[in-house]
Amino acid sequence: MTQKSVSNLRVKILNALSDPTRLELLEYLSSGERCVCEILPAFQRSQSTISKHLNILHEAGILERKADGKRTLYSIKDPLVFDLIGMVDAMALRQIIQLAEAGRILERSLTSRS
């Protein structure tokens, strides 16, 4: 596999994770395999929108999809995706903490001038 194809795969996975609805879908599916007929009522979005998001996650290799008669079932293909999301959460938390500290410093600076 070339470096370009590895980079393209990274981009495909990260793009698939870059939407709030898709992150919510992953969280919903973290408890196990679900039928689309169960997923749709849990989200206040159209069937076509949910199907589009599920397909993007499937195409990125994040979800597994299988047919069971007329039902389509989705599940997490690789639970490592939650480790990746956890790392992003840790990065976001660090940034929030840094912003809060900067706000406290600014507030102290402004109140000491008064």
What residue segments make up the domains of the chain, in order of their start? 1-77, 79-114
Answer yes or no: pTM beyond 0.85.
no
> How is residue 83 written in tokens?
């480790």
Name the strands in the sheet holding 34-35, side by side, starting at the edge strand that comes first in the sequence: 34-35, 71-76, 63-68
pLDDT of residue 114: 66
The three-class DSSP label of residue 16 is: helix
Tens of pLDDT, residue by residue over 40-83, are 999 989 999 999 999 999 999 999 999 999 999 999 999 999 99
Q: What is the CATH number of domain 1-77?
A: 1.10.10.10
Which stretches of 1-114 are assigned E, i.e. beta strand?
Answer: 34-35, 63-68, 71-76
